[in-house]
Amino acid sequence: MNTVLNPPWEINKGDIVKVKLYEYHGLVVEKGVVLSDKFNDENTMFPCVFVYIFGLNERQRCFPHQLEVLSSIS
Give the model confidence (pLDDT) of 1-58 as tens digits.
555 566 788 999 999 999 999 989 999 999 999 999 999 988 888 999 999 999 999 9
What is the reported pTM?
Answer: 0.85
Residue 1 CA to chain centroid, in angstroms?
A: 22
- Strands, E, within the chain: which ranges? 16-23, 26-34, 39-40, 47-53, 58-62, 67-71
Q: Is residue 8 part of a domain?
A: no
Q: Is residue 11 part of a domain?
A: no
Which CATH number belongs to the domain containing residue 24 in this structure? 2.30.30
Which domain covers residue 43, as residue numbers?
A: 16-71
Q: Is residue 9 part of a domain?
A: no
Q: Is residue 40 part of a domain?
A: yes
Q: Is residue 47 part of a domain?
A: yes
Q: Is residue 37 part of a domain?
A: yes
The total domain count for the chain is 1
How far is it, in rounded angstroms, from Cα 19 to Cα 32?
7
